[in-house]
Amino acid sequence: MARLKIVAAVMAAFLSAGLLAGCGGASRSAAATQLSADASGPTVAAIAPNLAIEGGPGFTLTVSGSGFSSQSVVAIAGQNLSTQLQGNGSLQAMVPAGAIARRGQLAVTVSGASPSATLYVVPSGVVSPTNNPLVADYAFGAPIGAHVSVEFGPSAGDYPWPTLAQAIPAGGGRLNLLVAGMQANTEYHMRAVIALPDGATVYDLDHTFATGTIPAGIVPALAPSPASGSPAGGLIQTDLIPLASPIAPDVVADTQGNVVWYYADPDFAGNIQGMKRLADGNLVFEETNQLDSSLVREIDLAGDTLRQLTLTQLNSDLQSEGAGFQVAFLSHDILPLPTGHIVLIGDIYKTYTNLTCCMGQSVRVEGSALIDLNRNWVPDWTWNPFNHLDVNRIQMAGAWPDWIHGNAILYTADHDLLFSMRHQSWIVKIDYADGGGTGNVLWKLGYQGDFTLTPNDPSQWFYGQHKPTILADNGHQMTLAVWDDGNSRVMNSSGEMCGTPGAPSCYSRAVVYQINQDARTAQEIFQYTPGPFCFWGGNAEQPTNGDMEFDITTGLPEGSEIMEVTDTATPQVVWSMTIDNVPNDQTYAYRAYRIGSLYKGITWNPAP
């Protein structure tokens, strides 16, 4: 409510000065160009910038037109300015701070020239707190056509961290920009950056914002190790699963363990899974409780819900669309697509009485379906695993009747989907074609799949895997990183599984494969075995510096560990961070990602 009151005050100030109505109508451009003029004398065509901040410092104004001379003098609201001739068609004038001390529309004239141009003096932005103590709301108004971002930093004049730029909406002249990426209990400086349509840039006055305290019980202890070598920069985003608490947060921290953003929903006792950043700066994720319900939610960086889709509504829509199945719960991952659609994983059930394993018995088999939602979050395409795969194949010991256990979705260069199936120890490619595909399985990667592996050793496939990452893809050749948990690893050609009597122990590793989709060959090009058997969770990826990074969710006495190693024949650890599993905490990092910033497409270097 406080944010709404402040925004209303800013809007009222603009309206009282007549600025919003005059700053962006279709009949007036942002630079006051194409003004009619008397062809017999000097003419004024445009000024840059045509925007100034009320109470701001003096600045240089450029006036373009024709017929100017050394006697031409620029004036604002009748006050002559110090003017220099830059050429027949350009003048520069120094605007003193006193001339822009009050908001309003000021006429800019040139002696002997016509017509005049307009300089819009707008109020400085207003910074206020949000529901997240680490996020500020920056309200600012500008002419339609401008793009506004905010840059922030440790002191006035030092603003190394920019936010996403947003366009002033066509129906109004103000924006609320959320500034995120700050540590708790710290004062920051920030200012708006206004990019005008004519290419000019105007900076708002400096503002300060003091972050608050993260509520107790949200963030576990993060313990980074001393870095060696040249670790990647950026931030670490972690999807946390606390086994002893109903609140499952998503946390972003720097590599020193300082938390700079978090989200937790105290009103929903479930796990946040697959949180992804969208192009507009918002975030989307699944929140699921298998014993209760599931939902899809979009939030802004302050944690305010913008829209959500409940499981009840999703199933109603699936029935209306004739999908042929109902979802019991959503799980594991969500995939935003360049088309604006998102793809979900939904667990579904089907009962069989003629399965090879259990002839004559009634077995309720659990499978993982895919649901493609359009921009309105209505199902547009679905994939039912029972229509495309052999339900009699059981690969992972002890998993039946959870047949597939899909845990990740990836989008390929040729507009299809990769679906990671933990209990099949397969990653399958599905004919999606941006929602126009048949759903047929194009290939199966993994043990007993469609590819020949080099080296020809079944133990070198991935087993019970989590969250693969496409490192490169041109539609024919693909480089794929996988976190290989190692459950039920087949150790030799006789089919002996790890962990069984007389067989070697199970182990986990990060592995990268070079895949030739045409020849159906897979070559292992990287592997690193950190030691523990991570029996569930984890992911593998490659930071921008070319190292390999992975998340060991389970199997360590201290909890989870995120580790960065060199991409070399003998990998060396360059950085790691543990998520401490202290008594009565039991918090695990289900996944961990390296991100450039909290804004998609923007990299902060160094991180806040």
Domain carrying residue 385: 222-595
> What's the pLDDT at 583?
56
User: Do residue 186 and residue 333 come from a single domain?
Assistant: no
* Tokens representing residue 51 in the block: 């925007």
Is the pLDDT confidence value at 224 over 80? yes
The answer to the question of residue 98 being in a domain is yes
User: Do residue 280 and residue 263 come from a single domain?
Assistant: yes
Of the candidate ranges 3-17, 123-137, 337-351, the one whose mean pLDDT is the lowest:
3-17
The answer to the question of residue 52 being in a domain is yes
pLDDT tier at 451, thresholds 50, 70, 90: very high
What does the alpha-carbon distance between residue 249 and residue 587 come to, in Å, rounded to a whole number? 10
User: Do residue 107 and residue 147 come from a single domain?
Assistant: no
> What's the pLDDT at 270?
79
* Tokens representing residue 74 in the block: 């620029």
User: Do residue 118 and residue 131 come from a single domain?
Assistant: no
pLDDT tier at 493, thresholds 50, 70, 90: very high
User: Do residue 236 and residue 356 come from a single domain?
Assistant: yes
pTM of full prediction above 0.85: yes
> What's the pLDDT at 25?
35
Q: Tell me the CATH number at 138.
A: 2.60.40.10
Is the pLDDT confidence value at 11 over 60? no
Of the candidate ranges 85-94, 239-248, 398-407, the one whose mean pLDDT is the lowest:
239-248
User: Do residue 260 and residue 148 come from a single domain?
Assistant: no
What does the alpha-carbon distance between residue 342 and residue 330 come to, in Å, rounded to a whole number? 13
The answer to the question of residue 29 being in a domain is no
186-190 contacts, C-beta under 8 A, 24 or more apart: 186/210, 186/211, 187/211, 188/136, 188/152, 188/153, 188/154, 189/152, 189/153, 189/154, 189/155, 189/156, 189/157, 189/158, 189/159, 190/127, 190/136, 190/138, 190/150, 190/151, 190/152, 190/153, 190/159
**Displacement of CA 479 from its chain's centroid (Å):** 22
- In 3D space, the residue among 379, 361, 356, 377 whose CA is nearest the CA of residue 369 turns out to be 379
> What's the pLDDT at 606?
85
> What's the pLDDT at 557?
82
- Within 8 A by CB and 6+ apart from 543, the residues are 232, 234, 549, 564, 594
What does the alpha-carbon distance between residue 445 and residue 426 come to, in Å, rounded to a whole number? 5
**Cα angle vertex 312, ends 310, 313, to 5°?**
70
User: Do residue 507 and residue 430 come from a single domain?
Assistant: yes
> What's the pLDDT at 172?
67
Which residue in this structure is represented by tokens 């793009």? 147
What does the alpha-carbon distance between residue 467 and residue 444 come to, in Å, rounded to a whole number? 16
The answer to the question of residue 25 being in a domain is no
User: Do residue 67 and residue 182 come from a single domain?
Assistant: no
The answer to the question of residue 18 being in a domain is no
Give per-residue pLDDT as tens, 385-427: 999 999 999 999 999 999 999 999 999 999 999 999 999 999 9
- Mean pLDDT of all residues in 354-364: 93
Of the candidate ranges 53-57, 156-160, 252-256, 271-275, the one whose mean pLDDT is the lowest:
271-275
User: Do residue 145 and residue 239 come from a single domain?
Assistant: no
User: What are the beta bridge partners of residue 66?
Assistant: 43
- Report DSSP state, residue 402: B
Length of the chain: 608
Give per-residue pLDDT as tens, 285-338: 999 876 668 999 999 999 999 999 999 999 999 999 999 999 999 999 999 999
* Tokens representing residue 473 in the block: 């893809």
pLDDT tier at 245, thresholds 50, 70, 90: confident
Quick check: 100 and 132 in contact, CB under 8 A? no
Of the candidate ranges 135-149, 335-349, 521-535, the one whose mean pLDDT is the lowest:
135-149
Our count of domains for the chain comes to 3
Give per-residue pLDDT as tens, 102-156: 999 999 999 999 899 999 999 999 999 999 999 999 999 888 889 999 999 999 9
Is the pLDDT confidence value at 255 over 80? yes
* Tokens representing residue 335 in the block: 């995939």
Among 68, 96, 122, the domain boundary falls at 122
Is the pLDDT confidence value at 457 over 90? yes
Quick check: 169 and 175 in contact, CB under 8 A? yes
User: Do residue 553 and residue 510 come from a single domain?
Assistant: yes
Among 122, 157, 181, the domain boundary falls at 122
- In 3D space, the residue among 556, 553, 527, 542 whose CA is nearest the CA of residue 593 turns out to be 542
Mean pLDDT of the residues in the chain: 91
Does 160 sit behind a cis peptide bond, omega within 30 degrees of 0 on the bond before it?
no
> What's the pLDDT at 1?
43
Residue 318 φ/ψ, nearest 5 degrees: -65, -40
User: Do residue 159 and residue 226 come from a single domain?
Assistant: no
> What's the pLDDT at 604?
95
User: Do residue 314 and residue 419 come from a single domain?
Assistant: yes
Among 99, 122, 145, the domain boundary falls at 122
Give per-residue pLDDT as tens, 465-480: 999 999 999 999 999 9
Does 606 sit behind a cis peptide bond, omega within 30 degrees of 0 on the bond before it?
yes
> What's the pLDDT at 479?
98
Is the pLDDT confidence value at 75 over 50? yes
Report the amino acid identity of residue 81.
L
> What's the pLDDT at 288?
87
- In 3D space, the residue among 156, 186, 250 whose CA is nearest the CA of residue 608 turns out to be 186
- What are the start-end ranges of the H helices in 224-378? 311-320
Q: Tell me the CATH number at 415.
A: 2.130.10
